Structure 1
């Protein structure tokens, strides 16, 4: 006999899905591909060296790109990215509701509190800004945090399935390096907190081991290739948290906003409404703080410490002293480039925010009377109005695009056997008519089956931040100087792709192109073959093994957790008969 599913457990799931659809409607209901700033989805992706993170550029998109290379063999890449992004926002809301049900006692963890928590998790400036910046895979790591907390609570209490769940959610968060670090910090902080029925040091050791395995793709890629070991100090100031109108940097971060790119914010955050919305969100969150303070349980205290650090540390990093310290770390600390976008770390405040927002419903009832449902409805409306333009693709700005037919034709011609691909115009960002006004990452690296050489240079307000792609920079310099094609071939370049209709430097490259065979040409793209290219293939074994370990952690954790759950339900059914 299977226990019936309760309304209390189903409603947060459906409600969270509805919120996710409300945010991502343009992607869900229209065909096409997400192409917005850092987000690039393509019909197919391929397991290139770049996808495995073993080029001289930093391994920022592993195992994300390798996963898409596998998935898009059977599923269109536009559908795959939309499904993953939908799952992320859905999981964020559902996980917030589960966190409230797990940590709050009795009536205070009821359905109204869970729905408020789910709303705060999905509907806030952090989600809006990261969507507009194109950080869809970072939102997967963000969404995993409430589930990581629930899993660590299960581990601390010696519950069956706790370790399996923790393994799965750490791996899910590890879709990007930042997500892996966010989840590892959260898990290890909670496993190290006092209390619980299990021994502290064994659980810390277990959490550390799982975190390392979840991070293996980017750790191994960085060790093998050395990419990202020499980050440009100029990136510290360029990617520092930014003050929004009437808020200051600290206020912006406390309101889960303050991304470095002023163009990647919803319209309401560029007006005095940023102050109104932040105050509204913080009032909803603050309502539950007295109740959490009275309980002061180790898990809750740890989440509070993480939230304070998550807000204060990026604010301090944006000060003169913090900027100097960050510049020093870029020069002397290997891998410090991962830290330079400081606002992204405010995600660590999410578990406390959703827990406190949920606890606030019971606090308001106890102080002012009334029904939980009434207070919850008011809180939900306040949170929605605080970021009003998050709805429907952040005011329609997150929407699918269609690639011109030439991209598919070029993708069918280029093969990895004939060498790598150099691109023109110079740079790695594009402005196509079909992609809208925002600059977008060049889709070529994910569209083609050969490695596309990219310098990694980022053009930001106030200047440029140098990238790590030294070989790509060398090839780009040769192209702009109009070098002999033989010099490109000697550096392993077998193709030159010219992308028309986008601004960028071309230099004297036409001299080089005149000496090459054009194998494709249309209004959008021209592809040239470079004869005689030869390139020593990279050793992929370690990187592939690291990705396999990550996949086993994700799949094994999910399967193990499901098996434990099914056995528990079967045992409960036998006891009732």
Structure 2
């Protein structure tokens, strides 16, 4: 099963595996990243990319940053498929046919395609951890847990915590699975372990938010309508979400989901899941996952209605930290574990019709692949490795030799480069330089500007665009002015500087807490598993 899941993952990411870098909308990889204040969450912006930026910065000191991102992306998809198969075994005792079907559904679905096109590679790492978290909690709940199982839950929670959203998804799955049948006292202990692991894994962005006083701006509410889940052709919003589609960005959608064929594709996916429901609904361990799957579809759909949008807008304005709720469709990831378990039961249901399980699984897997053909090969070759023009590494080397605050023009956060494809992409400079790059975080979606939190960057950019002198810019703390065109990057020395944050040591320590959970959990899981095998061999 691991080999099959890996093969599917490579079929999806194939064009990305050659030399070059992932550069697509929100996905930006560079040869090297650095532990800047921004990478540690010490900026005006909410700490949305922690500890992802820290990890890539540390890993890219040893391995090219482009390779780091590619490996993590492939690993996320691989873990999703392999984990879905393991979850099907844990919940149903599924055989090979059911495992193959669960793995196929977990990897080959619109959610994966749309998040790849949006560039959310680190979210997909968290997505890949969800079935492992579910399986781990269910095993601990049903049998006396050994060190391997306990450390495994810590590891998968920490790995999902590469981003705040991934951690929230994993913690939700863990707590939902805690209510599965089992000893009541053990339930409390598992809940405590799950919550404790999640809180510790959240240390980087919790500390960053406390130190910086920013979780997200109340202005985040301005993007509620722009980020709401979207109905696809022939489908209501709830139908799109039930089919694991409906991302807010209509440009980050595979071509097969932009026509009425989306109705057929959704019917196939939901039909396979519904086929197995009649078996799975009687399984007490599976019921929490099924309820979670239903909630993961219904709640984002409700959030996209008029009253739902009003409620979310008011909630974000009242509690700015709830800005993470704007992108409602991303929470549909919570449906995947339940969907995978239900799909795994489909071959057993069809066996009652005298259809061999292997044949049933083969037909169902082929149907899932056929109704989303453009997920293959980089979502229709839209996701592929690109190469930076020579002026980019030259500009980065020059600035890194004298790292002072940078203001980059044009002022938009997104750039369009002919050499990177037709889709816009986040400015790569902030992830390439040792210096801080002053960015507003403003986004333009469908002609509407969603303001970011970079008030200082906005002021400095206005100075540059108004023709302010170098002296005025230097007094404002600008060291370099960079003007980016399609292929060239022009660098101008100004000479200003700004002190580094006094909280760098604290934030590095907070990130080390997360890294310790990740590494310690992995080591404990492997050592515990090895000791368990040795003990089993002695007992035979």
Please tell me the TM-score bracket, short chain as reference.
over 0.9
1:393 is displaced (CA, Å) by 0.3
CA 1:175–1:416 in structure 2 vs 1: closer, same or farther (change >3 Å)?
Answer: farther
- Deviation string 1:81-125 (CA, Å, 9 cap, x unpaired) is 1111111111110000100111103xxx10110000000000000
Matched, 1:131 2:116: yes
Counterpart residue number, 1:575: 539
Instruction: Tell me, yes or no, if the aligned pair for 1:416 and 1:451 is still in contact at 8 Å.
Output: no
Counterpart residue number, 2:337: 351
1:78 is displaced (CA, Å) by 1.3
Counterpart residue number, 1:330: 316
Instruction: Tell me, yes or no, if the aligned pair for 2:404 and 2:496 is still in contact at 8 Å.
Output: no
Matched, 1:168 2:145: no
1:152 is displaced (CA, Å) by 0.5
Aligned residue pairs, count: 537
Matched, 1:45 2:62: no
Matched, 1:96 2:96: no
In 2, Cα distance between equivalents of 1:121 and 1:469: 37
- Deviation string 1:251-290 (CA, Å, 9 cap, x unpaired) is 0000000000000000000011100000001111111100
In 2, Cα distance between equivalents of 1:382 and 1:198: 44
Matched, 1:113 2:98: yes
1:540 is displaced (CA, Å) by 1.1
Question: Would you identify which runs of 4 or more consecutive aligned residues in structure 1 move more than 6 Å?
Answer: none
Matched, 1:524 2:512: no
CA 1:575–1:31 in structure 2 vs 1: closer, same or farther (change >3 Å)?
Answer: same
Counterpart residue number, 1:191: 178
Instruction: Tell me, yes or no, if the aligned pair for 1:401 and 1:434 is still in contact at 8 Å.
Output: yes
In 2, Cα distance between equivalents of 1:536 and 1:255: 47
Instruction: Tell me, yes or no, if the aligned pair for 2:300 and 2:331 is still in contact at 8 Å.
Output: yes
Matched, 1:317 2:306: no
Matched, 1:33 2:21: yes
CA 1:532–1:279 in structure 2 vs 1: closer, same or farther (change >3 Å)?
Answer: closer
In 1, Cα distance between equivalents of 2:402 and 2:132: 43
2:71 to 70, 78, 83: 83
1:394 is displaced (CA, Å) by 0.5
SS of aligned partner of 1:287: helix
Matched, 1:460 2:445: yes
Instruction: Tell me, yes or no, if the aligned pair for 2:405 and 2:498 is still in contact at 8 Å.
Output: no
1:531 is displaced (CA, Å) by 2.2
Counterpart residue number, 2:408: 423
- Structure 2: state its 5+ residue gaps: none
Matched, 1:16 2:1: no
In 2, Cα distance between equivalents of 1:551 and 1:487: 42
Matched, 1:251 2:215: no
Instruction: Tell me, yes or no, if the aligned pair for 1:49 and 1:538 is still in contact at 8 Å.
Output: no
- Structure 1: state its 5+ residue gaps: 1-11, 502-522
More displaced 10-residue stretch of structure 1: 411-420 or 231-240: 411-420
2:475 to 472, 478, 490: 490
TM-score by length of 1: 0.91
After superposition, the CA RMSD in angstroms is 1.4
Matched, 1:555 2:540: no
Counterpart residue number, 1:505: none
Instruction: Tell me, yes or no, if the aligned pair for 2:179 and 2:288 is still in contact at 8 Å.
Output: no
Counterpart residue number, 1:512: none
